[in-house]
Amino acid sequence: MLKNFLLLLNFLIISLMADSDYFLETLNEATEIATKTKLNIDYVPGTVTIIKGNELKSMGVTNLNQLNAYDMVVGMESVVSSLRGVGSMYGAIGNKIKWMLNGRVIETELRETDDWGKGPVFTPIPVDFIERVEFIRGAGSALYGGNAIFGVINIITKKNVSGVFGEFEYLRGSNIAKHTGVYTNIKEGDLSIDLSLSTYKSDGYDLYVGLDGHFYNDTTAKQTPAYGPGDLPAHSKAYNLMTDFNYKDYKFWVYNFQTKTGQGYVDWYPTDVLPPDDGRYIKTMENTMIGLEKSFLFNDIKITPEIGLSIYENPADRYFKYPANFIILALTQESYTDEKFRSREYKEQKSYGQIDLEYQAKNHMLMGGVFFQNTKIIKDKTFRNYTINSPESIEWFEHTGLLKDKKHRNQQAIYIQDIWDITDDIAITTGIRYDYFSDVDEAFSPRIAGVYSINNSNILKMQYSRSFRPPSFFEAYGYMSPYVLKPETVDTYEIGYIFKYDESTFKATLFKSYMNDMIIQHYRSYYFENLKDKAKVDGLELEYEWKSKYFKVNLNGAFYDTHNEETNSDFSLSSKFIGNIYGTYLFNSNNHLTLWCHYLSKKPRLENDSNGFIPSQDYLNITYKMKFKEVELNLGVKNLFNKIQDTLYMPLNPKNSDDIPYMGQSIWLNFNYNF
């Protein structure tokens, strides 16, 4: 049996490395993310990476709302939530990744309050609450359904521990950030309760946009220096509340987290006027997740029904758009004084039920399940105090919602999977999922994968898988949606190799992804549309890790070649290389020093390179950890050399030649006490 072989292999390696406690801490990594059955990550189909909470902190990541929170993962560009070289245009800023919290889906139809319906996925979870974060790169729809186009990310929180933490961050000038939280476990007989609460507030970095900015204005057909000078309002605040109840075979959870930001935080589009940096919190992103599951065992069949409710709210309070006399002022290049605002209300609700079945039969692990979900929009209203074509002020009035008509979607799905241990060295995984939607086309998501353990040091993996994503409500029915959209699909072929010897591990993954009906926004009209021709990504992802008693070194790099047949060019906003190197020196078991360097190659602003490139960027973080019994102290510098990081979130009108700053330097101190 393959499982017996895995246990023996792990025992032998642990025995060889018994002199390194630090090595043992991270050796036995297991995951359910690739199979829904717990296996060592080296033996599951596809490419899986696990980053532990203490590793994140050692690299200077203290909250998952940070704009570089996942940068150390192979091929990840955190600020636009993109994996595998697809950039923010094709990555659509996060909605082509399946986001999960303790195995429960974080899913929204509308990602942000800006007019384009895009924005990052905000999960204000401190790393002091996190056990690990699991990443499976590539297609994951055969198990997890829609949105798992380029990967699945599962955030696992700590259980059965208690503690408090506090954090202070100095972001230069007079800007600071404060972060506090508490987590605890309560046990009484068969009842176990894990509870955590945290709050966060940041003044944000000083993100200067100069008067000589070259942001192109379609109204005047020229660059518009009136968009500066000034700082983008990058302040934010957040809270996080999570409760997990476990009683015998019952599990019940309540999660609620909210992020409020200034208008310039992450999603400012420079064809708009620079928002006023007045300290107001303009935008709110709030998620509430409630659910219940229970496992039953009938002979050899495990049945786990689950029901849940997910609510996403995304209001905006008097956010700056443009003045009523915008066209007149833009033509005359006068300053903008007649500021006008919009307000927005948006709330959606997903209610779901699912039943998972698991059956172990000799050399087969059979799994299957059914899934039902209803998505409906509870609120969708926009208010404004101006008209676009006349300069006079008017009273606040209800304008239009983001969606033109459809306000609900029903979904039914069924999946089946078989893990077949052909021999102790070879395992084959096959599976297929079928999804039906009440308003868009159905989707089939097959996969077949093999894992061959050649010997104790060499493992070979191969996989074909298909993923899909239905158009979101805003893409399908928003006011930028004149076309009938199809679900997008991606067929991925990949081969992986793992070499493990003594303290070293080397992993390589070679893949090719073919994209059909990819949903994008046209860079001129901003209309949502399906690509008429295919697009593809070829990639090579490399990882190397070396551990000893005193050192741990990780290197990874991802090389991508993208091509859009419709434009006969590379993807816009996609890097050809993303790389990391991070290393930890253990002075002793209580004192660690970690350095992390991240590099992102240049990115074309448009697919035909006519607008030049966003230059390559890099930053260096340094962190020192001290531990005194149950007290842990971490201090460090993020972006040591203060290289201001810039990005674009989508291709803008062709003649824009500047980029948007999003991150600078800071000095931080984190205190954690376990009791």
**Between 175 and 88, where is the model more confident?**
175
**What confidence tier does 388 reach under pLDDT thresholds 50, 70, 90?**
low
What would the pLDDT profile of 316-369 be if each residue is shown by its tens digit? 887 765 554 455 554 454 444 445 677 888 888 999 999 999 998 888 989 999
Query: How many Å separate Cα 162 from the centre of its chain?
Result: 27
**What confidence tier does 515 reach under pLDDT thresholds 50, 70, 90?**
very high
**Percent of residues, the chain, with pLDDT higher than 90:** 48
CA atoms within 13 A on the CB side of 49: 27
pLDDT above 90: residue 501: no
What would the pLDDT profile of 628-673 be if each residue is shown by its tens digit? 888 999 999 999 999 989 888 777 666 667 788 899 999 999 999 9
What is the reported pLDDT for 624?
97
Q: What is the mean pLDDT of residues 381-390?
A: 65
Distance CA 75, CA 151 (A): 11
What would the pLDDT profile of 275-291 be if each residue is shown by its tens digit? 778 888 988 989 999 99
What would the pLDDT profile of 398-410 be if each residue is shown by its tens digit? 555 566 666 789 9
pLDDT above 70: residue 108: no
Tell me the CATH number at 580.
2.40.170.20
Contacts with 64 (C-beta within 8 Å, 6 or more apart), sequence order: 70, 123, 124, 125, 126, 127, 130, 133, 155
Domain range holding 65? 2-674
DSSP, collapsed to helix, strand or coil, labels residue 665 as coil
Token pair 């996060």 in the structure block, residue: 94
pLDDT above 80: residue 571: yes
Q: What is the mean pLDDT of the chain?
A: 83
Q: What is the mean pLDDT of residues 115-134?
A: 81
What is the reported pLDDT for 581?
97
**Between 273 and 15, where is the model more confident?**
273
What is the reported pLDDT for 400?
57
**Percent of residues, the chain, with pLDDT higher than 70:** 81
**What confidence tier does 173 reach under pLDDT thresholds 50, 70, 90?**
confident
Mean pLDDT highest for which of 190-194, 403-407, 517-521? 190-194
What is the reported pLDDT for 279?
85
Q: What is the mean pLDDT of residues 582-594?
A: 93
What is the reported pLDDT for 399?
52
Q: What is the mean pLDDT of residues 77-82?
A: 87
Mean pLDDT highest for which of 308-322, 394-408, 456-470? 456-470
**Across 219-332, where does the E strand assignment appear?**
222-223, 230-232, 236-247, 250-261, 283-294, 296-298, 301-313, 316-320
Q: Which of 31-40, 163-172, 305-314 has the lowest mean pLDDT?
A: 31-40
Assigned token pair, 194: 């894990």
Q: Which of 19-23, 248-252, 266-270 has the lowest mean pLDDT?
A: 19-23
Shortest CA distance to 268 belongs to which of 119, 385, 380?
119
How many domains is the chain built from?
Answer: 1
- The three-point CA angle 281-287-288 to 5° equals 135
What is the reported pLDDT for 4?
38
